[in-house]
Amino acid sequence: MTQSRARICILTETFFPVVGGGETQALDLGNNLAERGHSVIVVTRRSDATHEKRGKVGELLVFRVTPSGTGRRKKWGLLLTVIPALIRLRDRYDVILVSGYRIIGLTAVAIGMRLGKKILLKADSLGEMSGEFFRRGLGTVRLSTKNRAFRFFINTRNRILRRADGMVSISSAVRDELLEAHIRPEMIHDIPNGVDTTRFTPVSDPVKARLRDRLGLDQHAQIGVYTGRLVSYKGLALLLRVWREVVDEFSNAKLLLVGSGGLDMHNCEDELRSYVANHGLQNHVSFSGSVRNVEEYLQASDLFVFPTESEAFGLSLVEAMACGLPVITTTVGGVRDIVRHMEDGLMIKPADSHALLAGIRKLLDDPDLRTRLGSAACRTARERFSSVRVADLYSSLIETLASSGQPVGNATGSISEK
């Protein structure tokens, strides 16, 4: 291990074994940075009382703090409970990497500055800087993001967040949001999320058949799959309505929804399950629940459907592409940075049921198109989004950050690579 490597504290609201895009990224990135000689610890919320307060996950030493439990508002408690943890562990890290700064970024910057640590902020979702992320939650108490008290909080928080040493944008959509919040361009570093391309990889037809047997899937079905959280802004209600029409034309078409709504405030899993039951789709739509073998469901499928309405990046999309699946998705947010229409996937406007139906029909009808798009998608994922490449970018940025007396943007400019 190289002695001079910067020591890193990953600060995140939730962490493994919670399953989600942000949690997966934090785990994979942490392990990859540890492989590069960095000492990496994780500080997170003890979201389940059965989780150990301190333990190892892969190469990472994880410290879990209160409040524990499943209440959606408990994450706000982290604003206070991470303070003693960050102070107690201060001799273990040089840089705080905040994964999802919408709430805990405030504490990270304030305490990090006090302790003389460098702070790197990374948004996992759109709306973290603007405050739009909180729209749904505010709606439950009949408030809007234009509420005067809320805007005061966001503006005050953002003045503090701007004092971080650097910000990572995982897509051009996130970069645009940061610029609108008056973050200096030289402070922004464009690093996409990464995918483990040794885990998410195409398989041969015999392996695909064995996976279908193991997962209880029909060997003769044409299987479309969605992976990710079952939340309202992913366009899943629209997908189910369209799938009713798909099965009228393709009687052997099956749709797999892999994931759950979990604790997300946008959880729509119950509504989706009710729709399937009420419209007699039980033989055509299956729910897996939360699983850890996502790659096997992808490898057992024929196409990937991702009709999202809002997306900072689209990790599930890149995972599917890495598995060699042809994809159909929407022209929103960070997705626009990933897929090129008719080159490595199909792109449609969001919330367009006719276009979604036409795209699914095109892929089901044309095996040669599926093969061509799937092969190109795999190349895109491997060349642009491998976790190895992404970890190298983070390692370089963090080393520069830790060794600089000034914010890294002032010293070196962006090290990002598109």
110-131 confidence digits (pLDDT tens): 999 999 999 999 999 999 999 9
Rounded average pLDDT over 285-313: 97
Segment among 111-115, 248-252, 289-293, 408-412 with least mean pLDDT? 408-412
Q: Is the pLDDT of residue 31 over 80?
A: yes
> Would you say 330 and 347 are in contact if contact means Cβ atoms under 8 Å apart?
yes
Q: Which domains does the chain have, with CATH numbers?
A: 8-194+386-412 (3.40.50.2000), 205-384 (3.40.50.2000)
For residue 362, give the nearest of 301, 307, 303, 283 by alpha carbon. Answer: 303
Segment among 202-206, 304-308, 337-341, 403-407 with least mean pLDDT? 403-407
Find which of 61-70, 137-146, 151-160, 407-416 is predicted with most confidence, using mean pLDDT.
151-160
pLDDT confidence of residue 405? 62
Q: How confident is the model at residue 30 (pLDDT cuts 50, 70, 90)?
A: very high
Taking CA atoms, 330 is separated from 261, 356, 416, in Å, by: 21, 9, 25
> Would you say 168 and 120 are in contact if contact means Cβ atoms under 8 Å apart?
yes
Q: Is the pLDDT of residue 59 over 80?
A: yes
Model confidence pTM above 0.85 = yes
The secondary structure of 338-393, three-state, reads CCCECCCEEEECCCCHHHHHHHHHHHHHCHHHHHHHHHHHHHHHHHHCEHHHHHHH
Q: How confident is the model at residue 71 (pLDDT cuts 50, 70, 90)?
A: low
Q: Is the pLDDT of residue 2 over 70?
A: no
Q: How many CB atoms lie within 10 A of CB 216?
A: 7
Rounded average pLDDT over 224-238: 97
Q: Is the pLDDT of residue 279 over 50?
A: yes
